[in-house]
Structures are given as C-alpha cells and as structure tokens.
Amino acid sequence: MTDEWGDGTRSVHAGLPAPEPGQPFLPGPVFAAPYHLDPWRGPEASPNGYGRPDNPTRRLLEAAVGELEGGDCRVFASGQAAITGLLLALLRPGDTVLLPADGYFPVRAFATATLEGIGVRVGFVPTAGPYPSFEGVRLVLLETPANPGLDVADVPALAVAAHGAGALVAVDNTTATPLGQRPLELGADVVVASGTKALTGHSDLLLGYVATRSAELLDAVTAWRTTTGGVPGPFDCWLAHRSLATVDLRLGRQTANAEALARLLAGRGDVTGVRWPGLPTDPAYPVASVQMRRMPGVLSFDLGDADRVARFLDASRLVSAATSFGGLHTTADRRAQWGDDTAPGFVRLSCGIEDAADLVADVTAALDAA
C-alpha cells in the first residue's frame, strides 16, 4: 500500500491478500487451536503451529492496522489488554512512568493498583501540561485527545523532550484513530489503542492493538502477548478487518455531526464547558489543528447535574445512553458514574452517522425538555 492513496482507498485495501482468481477479497476467519505440523521440521515449516501465537486471520488484521498506523502491529483481546500489556512488557521495578492525569480511568486505576504494587514509580500529568522534566523517566504515555476531557498533547514537542532525556513515548490513539492522527510519524515510539471504538465502529466487538516501528519493542509486546494469552478470537479479527473498510466514511460523517452539535451546544446558555478540538475557540484547537489530520466525532459538555443528564437522555429519540464511543449510533455517557474525576453533569457524547440536521433538531428538543 502507498501513502499516496487517500484514506478511503487505504482503508478499503488495508491488509488484503494479493488477488487470486476464485478467492474472496477478505478470506473468512480461520478457526483453529492446533494446526497440522510437518513431522520432520515441526513448527519451522509453517507460520501456523498453535492458535495462541499463530492465526492467519489475526495476521491479516495486524497487517491492515499496521498499514494505517505506519508501523508493525499486534492486536489484543481488548484495548485494556493492549495498554496494560504494553506497560507490563516495558516497565520494571524501579522504573518511572508518566501517565495522563485526565486519561482513561481504568488505566490510572491499574497503575496505582498494579504498577505501584510491583515497584514502578507512577506520575500523573495533565494532558495539556505543564510537564515535568523527563530525566529518569522510562516511559511517557500520552492520550490525545484525552478521554473524556478532550485536551490535546503536542506529540512532536513532547517526543523531542522525552527522547532527549532517554524516555520512550507511547500515544493512546483511541479517540483520534490512525486516520485522525499518526503518532509514529509525529515522533512517538509506540501507539496503543482500543479498536473497540471508532476504528471498527459497529459496537459489536472488543479489540486492542499496539503498533511500533521498533523491532525491539515489537518483540517485547509479542512475547508478552504470547505468554499471557490475551489474543482476540478469529471471528472478532475478521469482523474488525471487515469494518475497517468503511472507517473513512464513518469518521467523515461523525466529524461533521460533532461540529454541528458542538456549535449548537456552544451557543446555548444552559450548557457549559463545551469541548471539541475542532472548535476554533477550544483550548486544544491551536495544537489539534496542526497535529491532527481530522477531528474526532466525540465532544463533551456539562448539563449541571446528574438529574438533568437523565432527563436529557430520556427526552432524546436519537441519543442513547451507553458507555463507549465511535459507533454508528449517537450515544452519551455521564462519566462520573464510572469513576472519572468529572463533575456530576459532565457528558461525553459520541456522534454516530445519523443525518446532522436530525441530530441537531433532536438534541435541541431534548435539551429544551430537560
């Protein structure tokens, strides 16, 4: 595949095998635990020896995601499996890791419950900074745009500073997706993400991945996954690969819907704290507009209290209450109920692919009713 192609072309063709008469564009899932082995050469004779480390359906998906991210990829059973696997594969007792203070809550909980318990020093830094010195730090994890607050980190600048101090840089690319942002090209050493969300976008599977251009880092992540067994099943891999073909179209509609709703919400006196990196008035806009290739379909705002959020969701016909983002259907989530350090009325809204005019009308009516 060539980067001269547009996002739609790259997404449709990513990871497909060479055309062969009589064969499908994307082969069906291969279900296998053991495979036939060569009686003489054993597993050296084939890339498939046993289902935990080896699966051709999984390898095709890894090729596809790797092409989109611009590196080599390993997929995991979930985004949480990918990011915890990356952290445990790279960090040792005595190491220091810096994590986003406003990032995905389960990662922060894992850091304090598990990483500190094995002797890793954990520091938390807001995504928008200010950042401390990176001297003595092993790994800097950035989540940009951050989930759920949508602040943005300056990846190129932070990568230069971290590398100058001898630290590695990982970027959680879940919110942006590789069509919205390519961290490896911005200087990051490794990308980690949940493929559950906008990348696959149909709300029907769990998936995570790690991508890198470093053979050393890839080997460490591969060995960790093989040893711990956190692999996705072949059917989920096939579903994910099939879904990648439409990611450009889905993201285009989601971004347009997010812009329409962000402008609506920003103009209402009964809504506060509207955040979307694509708004010129947003604090993240100066960095996001330079760094990102497209804006996410996720925005956030505050309705004041939990009861008003519930009334808003009850009144809406198009916005469903659900905890995830990036799917075909517009959803909203009051993040405080999951342990995020957010105000009681803070809402993360994920735009689906409905018509923008319908969404604007529905959200307007629901807010008026609430």
Domain count, the chain: 2
| 115 DSSP assignment | I
Taking the C-alpha atoms of residue 208 and residue 241, their distance in angstroms, rounded to an integer, is 13
1 is a domain residue: no
The predicted-structure confidence for 232-288, as pLDDT tens digits, reads as follows 999 999 999 999 999 999 999 999 999 999 999 999 999 999 999 999 999 999 999
Taking the C-alpha atoms of residue 295 and residue 126, their distance in angstroms, rounded to an integer, is 20
**Listed residues 191, 215, 243: the one ending a domain:** 243
- State which amino acid sits at residue 37: L
The predicted-structure confidence for 116-125, as pLDDT tens digits, reads as follows 999 999 999 9
In terms of domains, do 161 and 260 share one? no
The predicted-structure confidence for 152-209, as pLDDT tens digits, reads as follows 999 999 999 999 999 999 999 999 999 999 999 999 999 999 999 999 999 999 999 9
Q: Which are the contacts of 80, defined by CB distance < 8 A and separation ≥ 6? A: 106, 107, 110, 194, 208
In terms of domains, do 284 and 175 share one? no
Mean pLDDT rounded to a whole number for the chain: 97
Sheet containing strand 72-76, strands side by side: 72-76, 208-212, 190-194, 168-172, 139-143, 96-100, 121-125
The predicted-structure confidence for 275-290, as pLDDT tens digits, reads as follows 999 999 999 999 999 9
In terms of domains, do 259 and 349 share one? yes
Beta strands in the chain (DSSP E): 72-76, 96-100, 121-125, 139-143, 168-172, 190-194, 208-212, 272-275, 298-302, 320-321, 331-334, 346-350
Q: What are phi and psi of 99, to 5 degrees?
A: -120, 155
Would you place residue 338 in the very low, low, confident or very high pLDDT band (cuts 50, 70, 90)?
confident
For 222, other C-beta atoms within 10 Å of its C-beta total 15
**Listed residues 243, 273, 290: the one ending a domain:** 243
For 78, other C-beta atoms within 10 Å of its C-beta total 18
In terms of domains, do 219 and 96 share one? yes
Residue 1 has pLDDT above 80, yes or no: no
In terms of domains, do 190 and 265 share one? no
CATH of the domain at 266: 3.90.1150.10
**Listed residues 243, 272, 288: the one ending a domain:** 243
Residue 151 has pLDDT above 70, yes or no: yes
167 is a domain residue: yes
The predicted-structure confidence for 295-327, as pLDDT tens digits, reads as follows 999 999 999 999 999 999 999 999 999 999 999
In terms of domains, do 261 and 343 share one? yes
What residue numbers bound the domain in which 363 lies? 247-369
Taking the C-alpha atoms of residue 43 and residue 218, their distance in angstroms, rounded to an integer, is 21
